[in-house]
Amino acid sequence: MAGTARRRPLGVVTRGTTNPNRLRRVDNWIAATCGDRLRAAADPLVVDLGYGATPVTAVELRARLAAAVRADVRVVGLEIDPVRVAAAEPAADPPWLTFARGGFELAGLRPALVRALNVLRQYDESEVADAWRTMTGGLAPGGLLVEGTCDELGRLGGWVLLDADGPRTLTLAAKLGTLGGPAELAERLPKALIHRNVPGEPVHEFLRALDDAWHAAAGYAPFGPRQRWLRAVESVKAAGWPIVDRPRRWRLGELTLPWPTIAPT
Ligand SMILES: C[S@@+](CC[C@H](N)C(=O)[O-])C[C@H]1O[C@@H](n2cnc3c(N)ncnc32)[C@H](O)[C@@H]1O
């Protein structure tokens, strides 16, 4: 725009790995958990930050939120790599889905929700706090940021929910049919926690407790992995870990903890 200096996008280009359906677990969780905020938002604008080499997960996010939350949701896919912005253009469906160049500053948008999945994974742990602050600083009042990591097929994942005051919760999610045990979740912790899976850190203590509970629940295996997971989550909750979500979410292979319980020391 004439007369206004455009800010350089904040961040760096990283690997663009993505896959169809990779983010379905986090998208379904967003619809269920953040849906009310989005329904109440004056402007239902959602940013998908760092959509990668193809825009497939941004296309899916728009479709899922339009079906489950509100039909007038608008998704803007922001990428720091201009080549990926140009490559995404054929998938645009304005005004519902558009693509633009941008970084952690969110290109000056004021979204009600930001999803940033598998973006910070390739940054240094020391860069996380600033990136979180920059992204939450760009949210609309009452806005939310979901930042996390998952594996290539979306079978294992972990994400942090943040608002303007900082991180609120950590959610871990697994496809129970292929889960060998909760220890596998350690590889897909969000960047803020992945290097903290060491003795003395709360996330390490929690994963160990959950893994022990899973092994102790081996007798439930004949009834299926869901029953075993439910039993394991009930056990860690009974042992004092303040799981905040309900069995309805546990049945999906999820659990959510308050951030202060799990935050790095
Ligand atoms: C591994 S891909 C993730 C794609 C997709 N979100 C997914 O989970 O499948 C990471 C993408 O984030 C982009 N990226 C990294 N830092 C960014 C930033 N600060 N702002 C916008 N995009 C960024 C990279 O260029 C890359 O395309």
Which tens digit of pLDDT belongs to each residue from 61-111? 999 999 999 999 999 999 999 999 999 999 999 999 999 999 999 999 999
Give the mean model confidence (pLDDT) for residues 193-197: 97
Does the CB atom of residue 190 touch ligand 1 within 6 A? no
Per-residue pLDDT tens digits for 113-149: 999 999 999 999 999 999 999 999 999 999 999 999 9
**Which pTM value belongs to this model?**
0.97
Ligand 1 site, residue 138, Cβ cutoff 6 A: no
For residue 48, give the nearest of 60, 58, 59, 62 by alpha carbon: 58
The reply to whether ligand 1 has any atom less than 6 angstroms from the CB of 154 is: no
Name which of 179, 154, 161, 190 is nearest 230 in CA terms.
179
* Neighbouring C-beta atoms of residue 233, cutoff 10 Å: 25
Give the per-residue pLDDT at 7: 75
Please tell me the residue having the least CA distance from ligand 1 atom 25.
Answer: 13
pLDDT > 70 in the chain, percent: 98
Look at residue 6 in the predicted model and tell me its pLDDT.
Answer: 63
Instruction: Please give the distance, rounded to the nearest whole angstrom, from the Cα atom of residue 176 to the centre of ligand 1.
Output: 27
Phi/psi for 40 (5° steps) reads -85, -10
Q: What tens digit of pLDDT does each residue of 14-59 get?
A: 999 999 999 999 999 999 999 999 999 999 999 999 999 999 999 9
Ligand 1 atom 13 nearest Cα: 50
Q: Which two tokens stand for residue 122?
A: 């390739």
Q: pLDDT at position 2, please? A: 38
| pLDDT for 9 | 97
Q: How crowded is residue 211: how many other Cβ atoms within 10 Å of its Cβ?
A: 18
Q: What pLDDT does residue 1 have?
A: 37
Q: What is the pLDDT of residues 201-227, one digit of tens each?
A: 999 999 999 999 999 999 999 999 999
Cβ neighbours around 136 below 10 Å, total: 20
Query: Mapping DSSP to helix (H, G, I), strand (E, B) and coil, where does residue 257 land?
Result: strand
What's the token pair of residue 41?
Answer: 């938002």
Residue 79, ligand 1, Cβ within 6 A: yes
- Mutation test residue for ligand 1: of 17, 57, 80, the one with most atoms within 8 Å of CB: 80
Q: What are phi and psi of 198, to 5 degrees?
A: -135, 150
pLDDT at 4 over 50: no
User: How many other C-beta atoms are found inside a 10 Å radius of the C-beta of residue 41?
Assistant: 22
What tokens were used for 48?
A: 């998908």
3 state DSSP class of 107: helix
Q: How far is Cα 194 from Cα 185, in angstroms, rounded to an integer?
A: 10
Strands 113-117 and 45-49: parallel
